[in-house]
Amino acid sequence: MALDAFVRCTCIRDGKAKPHPFPDRLTFDESGDPMLTGDPTEDEWEAHDHWLAQSCEHEGFILSFFLGNITKVGNLRSFLRALQGSLGPRFPILLEKVLYDGTHTGDWLSSKASAALLKEVDTVLHSSDILAESEKEFFTNMKLLCEASIQTGNPIMF
């Protein structure tokens, strides 16, 4: 069980992707994920997924990271709770939207939420002298995901 995160590129939205097999049925869901309208067959979904994986030079993703397994996520959650102390929720997005579970999938944070998350991540990174190497890696990757989300206007997806 693991937690992964990614940000899609803008090639499809910007018209830079290869032609879709069903262009009249291509749409985007609320998270910006390319989808098919109607009642697609299994073969149509397979063709869509195949196209998506080869739609552009980025294969649809500008950034993608393995963030950690369930144990690492639990350890990061404990670390953040200790870091915030009794002052209250200094890391509400990290604790409630990112690290609440080590295996959540299908969740996403809008680019607006990514801007707020970036502030939380930067707060932690300013304490880099107390971070273990794996914690630095996690928060550095989160910073990169936030920046990519803000730059593209696409959400961070888990």
Q: Residues 24-60: pLDDT tens digits?
A: 999 999 888 999 999 999 999 999 999 999 999 998 8
* Mean pLDDT value across the chain: 93
Q: Is pLDDT of 95 > 70?
A: yes
Which pair of tokens denotes residue 13?
């939205």
Confidence of residue 158 (pLDDT cuts 50, 70, 90): very high
DSSP states of 39-100: ---HHHHHHHHHHHHTSSTTTTEEEEEEEEEHHHHHHHHHHHHHHHGGG--S-HHIIIIISS
Q: How would residue 127 be classed by pLDDT, with cut points 50, 70 and 90?
A: confident
Mean pLDDT for the stretch of residues 1-10: 92
Q: What is the pLDDT of residue 16?
A: 95
The residue-averaged pLDDT of 11-18 equals: 94
* Cα distance between residue 128 and residue 87, in whole Å: 20
Q: Residues 122-135: what's their mean pLDDT?
A: 92
pLDDT the model gives residue 91: 95
Residues in CB range of 54: below 8 A, 6 or more apart: 18
**Residue 47 CA to its chain's centroid (Å):** 24
In three-state secondary structure terms, 17 is: coil
Contact 157, 6 (CB under 8 A): yes
Helix or strand or coil: residue 142? helix
Give which of 147, 7, 2 is closest to 63, Cα–Cα: 7
